[in-house]
């Protein structure tokens, strides 16, 4: 059994333009005479590997703690794409029983590809980028997926993961009322 950690390290990971850079302060230090270590963390919930909830782009949409965990945990297919991903590409490479799709490579979703994923009933879409789509169509693609409660997992690292089917665990932190959350995403080889 292989376990692949597909998460970015938070402090050295990618940051979407305009988001806060993660930082921490050690407020208690055993090396300074305190009886324990304690750190204070400051970051955007969309830093590094993270999940977008519908509330990220939909007013009144589900917040991160309202996402069904069954969408974030279960069988997932890693599929490699380079360049623009169209609906035709989805029809060629995604099969009907692929309900969690992780896009490996620099593939960029188009709106018609997102709509095709919705037609297939996909529960989760993951990308190595810090956002689905590109800067021009980012909001449209988020809206198309999130209105169907598709979980968006962004900032994953699939460099060492071959294409195939795995068991995904990518549960978000239970951050009540927020539109997103960091997560520690892992893939496990099926036995």
Over residues 110-163, the pLDDT tens digits come to 999 999 999 999 999 999 999 998 878 899 999 999 999 999 999 999 999 999
| Mean pLDDT of the 17-32 span | 96
Is the predicted pLDDT of residue 191 greater than 70, yes or no? no
Residues annotated as part of the active site: 56
Residue 139, Cβ neighbours under 10 Å: how many? Answer: 13
The answer to whether the CB of 41 falls within 8 A of the CB of 175 is no
What pLDDT shows up at residue 15? 93
What does residue 27 show for φ and ψ, rounded to 5 degrees? -95, -15
pLDDT tens per residue, range 27-54: 999 999 999 999 999 999 999 999 999 9
Structural domains of the chain, with CATH:
3-8+47-189 (3.50.30.50)
Look at residue 70 and give its three-state secondary structure: helix
CA–chain centroid gap for 150, Å, is 11
* pLDDT, average across residues 76-87: 95
Residue 70 φ/ψ, nearest 5 degrees = -65, -20
């Amino acid at each position: 059994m292989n376990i692949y950690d597909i998460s970015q390290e938070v402090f050295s990971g990618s940051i979407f333009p305009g988001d806060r850079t993660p930082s921490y302060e050690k407020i208690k230090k055993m090396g300074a005479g305190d009886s324990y270590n304690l750190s204070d963390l400051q970051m955007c919930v969309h830093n590094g590997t993270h999940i977008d909830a519908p509330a990220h782009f939909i007013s009144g949409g589900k917040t991160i703690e309202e996402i069904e965990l069954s969408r974030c945990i279960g069988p997932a297919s890693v599929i490699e794409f380079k360049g623009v991903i169209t609906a035709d590409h989805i029809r060629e490479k995604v099969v009907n029983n692929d309900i969690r799709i992780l896009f490996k490579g620099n593939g960029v979703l188009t709106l018609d590809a997102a709509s095709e994923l919705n037609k297939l009933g996909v529960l989760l879409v993951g990308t190595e980028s810090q956002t689905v789509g590109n800067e021009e169509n980012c909001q449209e693609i988020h809206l198309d997926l999130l209105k169907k409660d598709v979980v968006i997992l962004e900032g994953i690292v699939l460099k060492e993961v071959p294409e195939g089917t795995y068991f995904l665990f990518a549960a978000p932190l239970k951050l009540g009322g927020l539109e997103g959350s960091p997560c520690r995403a892992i893939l496990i080889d099926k036995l």
